[in-house]
Homo-oligomer: A and B are copies of this chain.
């Protein structure tokens, strides 16, 4: 398992004359499946330093032809739904089948809480001991594009390193599930028993992003309740929009503790892949995702350069107040900001 503190990052990638050679060496090592090189590559991609940006893009460019050969699975659920234990059980099961499993995380709360979902190594101890697993905590946000670009690019690196199952974890309370849905093939919503109550805490429309809703902790005394919950979800799904054309969202249950239901989830994922590959939806979605990726990068950059502009930064609070007080129209205020912005 590879963890890189941000202090280490800065040291490891100091600008030096050997950068091009370093990228070439890293490329080869990643293509050979070297996990430590992969971790270094992701650190490069995640770096907020401007001079690392070029190196990271050059690395990605070289690895791009070797990416794409995995099934990408997004996993979300409210805090407490047991995402970590599920991913561990699912990951260990997949390693047992001979798959190479990479786990990435998007955690919008990490900047607030100071930690990340996977920050605690001990939480996936069993999976981290697998030689075919790679676990990476969520990147921090930053200047050169957001967390989503970084996660997508990290995923491509993992694929180039030979990982054929990518699990992307996100907390189901923010804006990040939509971003994850836009980078994965299959999206899974992990829930607990007691559908009605739990849904109160869930993000609007999140069920309609899911290809499968999985009731976790279906073990012991909880099993009959879990089955009841599963049937409730099955009924609700009927009223909702499908996430993937031609695929009926499934309601499943499992126990990350006993392992019951885990193989069945993998069967559903494989059936899904077969179905959408045959219909062409798989390829179409990936194409669309690549296009979105480009335009997201553009949009991030545009907003960043605007809102970080010194003139805009100093004017915005006053103008926002004026608009709120009804003293200025939004277009009028925006006009003043753009005059400053374009005078750079």
Contacts and interface: CB of A to CB of B under 8 A. Distances in A.
Interface residues of A, number: 55
Contacts of A68: 326
A231 interface: no
Contacts of A338: 301
Given A149-B331, A204-B208, 9 more contacts: A60-B329, A65-B326, A199-B240, A204-B209, A290-B330, A297-B334, A298-B334, A301-B334, A301-B338
A303 interface: yes
A38 to B, nearest CB: 17
Q: Which 6 A-B pairs have the closest CB atoms?
A: A205-B205, A294-B330, A204-B208, A293-B330, A204-B241, A297-B334
A240 B203 CA distance: 9
Contact of A205 (B65, B208, B335): B208
Contacts of A299: 303
Contact of A335 (B57, B199, B202, B331): B57
Interface in A285-320: 287, 290-291, 293-294, 296-299, 301-303, 306, 319-320
A258 interface: no
A73 to B, nearest CB: 20
Contacts of A301: 334, 338
Interface string A50-70: 000100010011001101100
Contacts of A203: 241
B326 A145 contact: no
Contacts of A293: 323, 330
Interface of A: 53, 57, 60-61, 64-65, 67-68, 145, 149, 153, 195-196, 199-200, 202-205, 208-209, 236, 238-241, 287, 290-291, 293-294, 296-299, 301-303, 306, 319-320, 323-324, 326-335, 337-338
A44 to B, nearest CB: 13
B57 A329 contact: yes
A53 B333 CA distance: 13
A319 B298 CA distance: 12
A1 B264 CA distance: 62
Given A298-B306, A301-B334, A330-B293, A199 B323 contact: no
Nearest to A238: B196
Contact of A320 (B202, B294, B319, B334): B294
Contacts of A319: 294
